[in-house]
Structure 1
């Protein structure tokens, strides 16, 4: 099926300067969306101007910020545009994106924005399915399986607590969620792991709960510095394995982003049929 250049999907990510991780995560998500909706052209934007500038200077790679991407879509004659973020939650980055999209609302025939990854109860269940399937080989009762989220000052930070509660509710008792920049912290995580009901752990697996395995995953989680999660967990007495892979490397996560796009399309059809 040929693409209709008047209909596009703009996939918006925070971005990363780690080229290999960008290919395995952001590129992969965009490719899944493109394959799922072959009649749409898929475009890219990053929200981090720091990363955009770094890639341009270091690698001569040009990536639009959100406003540039919206302007380019208009210049190219796009009339119907779906903006799908790869953000985890409706935190500060997502709210800023939504505000920018709203500024352009009247300049497109149809302009919609999809939900972040963790929005509905079904989203939480599907993400839990994906991350537990990806780590099932470590769930031996002797290993604490720990996920590092980014964390935010926004109200949306509660998604981490909710995810922890949902994991426990589904009897994934060896799974833990904490954040780099908010609560629960690495200190909270070590306390949770040490006070596990029924005995302690010997090992710990660390994996990022982030779309891309970038700076936080490589340095704050798996780095050699004494304040990294790896070093702090080793200091606490655990044999540590780090899995430096983003959520975008999981096919089920990529499909969930595509499902969010589909929800927007179905909603548009319903509105037009009324």
Structure 2
């Protein structure tokens, strides 16, 4: 068991126990350090999963940046990467750049003898991309001793609070800031509304959240702006991990022009969330948490409840 002891010692020394205790609700997780469960011959990897982008400029500042940070933070985990957008992967392939999807990346890890995989996505909300990723993982889970999946940027109320604190630093005097998220057609769009609500509850009345394809809509955010009678300057901020097509077209062109037609002076901030060190750190904290905590199987939990004595 010498290999296991060395791995655990390195893990404790390099990672410590510095993650916030409130990262996730304790009811949904139990403390179980995956590093302490490794047996001789086991191999563990960290798989970072991104939606992806075809824009080299924003990829270098976001995806590549957090990949580098994850490698540095978790040297005891062999690093791998996957993309989930098949459209982006197809377009990159035409340029000679091949990215694996999650199933392909896991199949490769299995072929290389890995037994444990920690997966962390850079998704913003727990929406259809997370749902798709979980289905990919379930398909491959029987091939490994264990796969653990970290949570997206926004999961617990404390995640929202940390994100809001980070976004508040982007505020400008006498300027209204509209955060523009991608949005979704599923009930998961309520997570954007929660962010908007918490911004107001935290006293950030000069912020509003809108989305390209969900609720709150961009028009909802503009209504909030117009209620601020003395505001003439607007800052448009992508609430997206990368500043790609939506940022460069929908936000920097269409939304900017729509606001200018209403008489506002508009400044698009072409910066993806993934560029901000504080945002990157939330993802790193999620990885550190899932290394030491295992998510509760809700089906098993309900069976235990059914068999328990009152």
Q: Same fold, TM exceeding 0.5?
A: yes
Please point out which of 170, 183, 186 is paired with 2:218: 186
Please point out which of 261, 264, 283 is paired with 1:257: 283
Shift of 1:206: 0.5
Q: Which residue of 2 aligns with 1:200?
A: 230
1:86 equivalent in alignment to 2:118: no
1:42 equivalent in alignment to 2:79: yes
Question: Which segments of 5 or more consecutive residues in structure 2 lack a partner in the other structure?
Answer: 1-9, 12-40, 297-310
CA deviation digits over 1:148-207, x for unaligned, max 9?
A: 1000012111111111111111111101110001122222221111013xx331100001
After TM superposition, the score normalised by the length of structure 2 is: 0.80
Give the conservation status (yes or no) of the 8 Å contact 1:8–1:43: yes
1:222 equivalent in alignment to 2:252: yes
After TM superposition, the score normalised by the length of structure 1 is: 0.90
Give the conservation status (yes or no) of the 8 Å contact 2:210–2:219: no
Secondary structure at the residue paired with 1:219? Answer: helix
- 1:195, 1:128 → 2: CA distance? 22
Aligned length: 259
Q: Which residue of 1 aligns with 2:26?
A: none
Q: Which residue of 1 aligns with 2:168?
A: 132
Q: Which residue of 2 aligns with 1:231?
A: 257
After TM superposition, what 4+ stretches of structure 1 lie above 4 angstroms from structure 2? none
Give the conservation status (yes or no) of the 8 Å contact 1:15–1:46: yes
- 1:70, 1:99 → 2: CA distance? 13
- 2:166, 2:263 → 1: CA distance? 29
Shift of 1:5: 8.9
Please point out which of 115, 127, 149 is paired with 2:181: 149
- What's the RMSD between the two structures over aligned residues? 1.9
- 1:231, 1:269 → 2: CA distance? 46
Question: Which segments of 5 or more consecutive residues in structure 1 lack a partner in the other structure?
Answer: none
Distance 1:148 1:12, change over 3 A: same
1:27 equivalent in alignment to 2:64: yes
